[in-house]
Structures are given as structure tokens and as C-alpha cells.
Structure 1
Amino acid sequence: MALGDRGPVGWVCFGPCRSEIPGPGQAGEVYALYVSPDLIGQGIGRILLGEAHSQMKGQGFEASALWVLCDNQRAQRFYERAGYQADGAAQDDVYDGITLTELRYQRVL
């Protein structure tokens, strides 16, 4: 969790990968990464993601995966700058009758 003058301003949640990903070794997964919208672009997400990577490595994970909405190009660019690459996997989730497509990204830790 990232704390600022006003309290929590961001957090990251991760754990074991919930799906099989190609490649050797055990994979972790970033389940969620949130930063207060008015603070996006100030490095908070990068710090949180870096801490998650460090902790995953410490837990024996060799790779990290995550899912990004296919229309969220800002998040895709963020994760690509952090070394993630789309691996070709996609999944559809339906929320209130609306289908959202997610793309899986992964990287070596």
C-alpha cells in the first residue's frame, strides 16, 4: 500500500498465478494495481509494481502475469514499460450484461 498525506493513495495485490502460463518455473500474478486517479503518472504505480516483483521473487516465483482490459491502452503501455509483453491469451468477462475482453501480459522476474 502506498500512503500519502491524505492516507492510502495506491495498492497492489498479487499471489500465485490463477492460470497456466507458458514457460518454465512458477508464476505469480498481479491481481490488481490501483493508484488514486489524480496521482497517476507520479511513479506510485511503478514503485508498487516493483515492490510486488521483489516480493514475488522472494517467494520463489520466476515470472509474473496479469490481465489488462483490451481497451485500456494506458495500462498496457504502463505494463510494457515495466517489461511485460502480451502473450496472446485473451478472456471475456461479462459484467451487468457487458462483455469486457482482457489480454494477458507476462514477464520474467
Structure 2
Amino acid sequence: MLLIREMTLDDVDAVAEVRVRGWQTAYTGLMPQPYLDSMSVTEDAKQRRAFLERGAGAMANWVAERAGKVAGWACFGPHPEPEGPPRGGELYAMYVLPEQQSTGVGTALMDKVVSEAHRRGLPWVRLWVLQGNAPARRFYEQSGFRLDGHEESSDIDGTPVPEVRYELPLT
């Protein structure tokens, strides 16, 4: 049985493991390997704990739990606007343990995100994904998201990492 629930401070270490393992699996070949290899579950947990202790504001964090263990995590909140208040929502992050992929965890987390966006009365949800991350892009497209034409690139240890933006209209 899969349970989607709000993340607590007790989940920080498990979420950090989901996130780091997710990056190290999904982004192999898309980011510099030394960068991925240097990622630390302990450091990620420390940053996530400090963030949660400060308060998440309008941001929501959920975990997917199966058999008492965290199998996935999603973070959602207002889409940052260059000027003025947020008008829509953004899926900031979603990761699923590699061994839990294609088992319904991502779909259940996405359902929670979309349900929360509807509850907040938002007209759309956006997300950024690495351009070369074909499995994630397929998942988002199957969830109803479509490319909206926006692209940007980050620099990770001197390597450009291009991202594309997707949008899911809700109204």
C-alpha cells in the first residue's frame, strides 16, 4: 500500500537519500560525474532540515511511503514571478528511489501536486526538467504537461546543463 503524506522532520534523512540517489541515477551522463559522486546524503539532510525548521511558508513537501519506508518525495509551491505575486504553481522537485520507479510512486505524488494546485485555485503548474532527461520528460508528458517554449541553462562545474520548462493548464 502506498501512502502520500506531508513530510515531517523525521523524514529528512530518508528524503535526502531519495533526492541524492535520484540525482545520481537520473543525471548520469547529463551532469559532470565528479559533481554527482560528491553529493552527500548527510549534507543534503542538513540543508533540508534547516529549511524545514525555518518554515516552508506556502511550499508543500510530501513523501510517498510504502511498507513504512519513504519511496519518493515532491516539493510544490508558488511559481516565482519576476514582478508581482505568484499567479500559478511550480513543482520544484520530485524524486523517486530508483528501485521504486514505475511502481506508481511518481504518479501518486503527481496526483497530490495537481490536487493541491486545484485546491489553491491555481490556473497552471510549471516545472523545469533537464533537457536530456528523457524518462522524466516522458513521465511529465504522460501526466499532461506540455513544453511551453522556455529554456535555460545552468553551469555545473563548467558544464552547461540545459533545462526546458513544462506547463500543465488546470482551467
> Is the contact made by 1:88 and 1:104 (CA closer than 8 Å) also made in structure 2?
yes
The residue correspondences of 1:5-16 to structure 2 (distance < 5 A) are 5=67, 7-16=69-78
Matching residue within 152, 159, 171 for 1:91: 152
The residue correspondences of 1:11-90 to structure 2 (distance < 5 A) are 11-19=73-81, 26-90=87-151
Aligned length: 105
The aligned residue for residue 34 of structure 2 is none
> Is the contact made by 1:9 and 1:36 (CA closer than 8 Å) also made in structure 2?
yes
State, as a whole percentage, how many aligned pairs show the same letter: 36
- Structure 1 alignment gaps of length 5 or more: none
- Deviation of the 1:97 alpha carbon: 1.5
Matching residue within 86, 102, 105 for 2:163: 102
Distance 1:56 1:95 in 2: 31
Instruction: Indicate the structure (1 or 2) with the bigger Cα radius of gyration.
Output: 2
- Deviation of the 1:56 alpha carbon: 1.4
Q: Which amino acid aligns with 2:169?
A: V
Q: SS of the residue aligned with 2:139?
A: helix
Distance 2:120 2:148 in 1: 23
> What is the TM-score normalised by the length of structure 1?
0.90
The structure where strand makes up a greater share of residues is 1
> What is the TM-score normalised by the length of structure 2?
0.58
Distance 1:30 1:19 in 2: 14
Q: Which runs of 4+ in 1 moved over 2 A?
A: none
> Is the contact made by 2:81 and 2:87 (CA closer than 8 Å) also made in structure 1?
no
- Structure 2 alignment gaps of length 5 or more: 1-62
Distance 2:105 2:81 in 1: 27
Q: Which amino acid aligns with 1:50?
A: D
Distance 2:81 2:166 in 1: 12
Distance 1:72 1:19, change over 3 A: farther
